[in-house]
């Protein structure tokens, strides 16, 4: 069974801690980018999301949002992925992400999403 609750580390050194999932699959936690990002202003940031019912699907999908705790910038990242159980029983997350920065006007919208 693949559950997101617990501590995770990405291939790039980012760290994520996820609280216990509630009965509806919702969870909260914290996210810290890897030291290699070079941005010393980024603090541990809150995350919230949901996971598909692992009782119904053995390798569930999930999504979560990170609201970055930055000094002067408003940014959010959305992660969307799936939790797999590997051949040795280890849980593995695969995810895509989009980072959105706030802009001052609609004409700057083109540069706001990475």
Q: Into how many domains does the chain fold? A: 1
Domain presence at residue 29: yes
Domain presence at residue 1: no
By residue count, the chain amounts to: 114
As given in the structure block, the two tokens for residue 83 are: 């939790």
Over residues 53-67, the pLDDT tens digits come to 888 888 999 999 999
- For residue 89, the 8-state DSSP code is S
Quote the pLDDT of residue 41: 62
Domain presence at residue 95: yes
Task: Choose between 24 and 39: higher pLDDT.
Answer: 24
Domain that holds residue 19: 6-111
Angstrom CA distances, 3 to 6, 18, 76, stand at 8, 10, 24
Angstrom CA distances, 58 to 3, 12, 33, 82, stand at 9, 26, 28, 10
pTM above 0.75, yes or no: yes
CB atoms within 10 A of CB 27: 20
CATH of the domain at 47: 2.40.128.30
């Amino acid at each position: 069974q693949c559950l997101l609750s617990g501590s995770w580390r990405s291939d790039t050194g980012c760290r994520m801690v996820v609280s216990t999932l509630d009965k509806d699959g919702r969870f909260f936690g914290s996210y810290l980018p890897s030291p290699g990002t070079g941005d010393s202003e980024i603090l541990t940031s809150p995350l919230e999301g949901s996971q598909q019912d692992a009782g119904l699907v053995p390798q569930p999908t999930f999504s979560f949002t990170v609201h970055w705790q930055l000094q002067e910038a408003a940014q959010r990242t959305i992660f969307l992925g799936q939790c797999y159980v590997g051949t040795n029983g280890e849980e593995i997350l695969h995810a895509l992400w989009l980072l959105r920065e706030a802009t001052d006007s609609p004409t700057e919208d083109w540069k706001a999403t990475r």
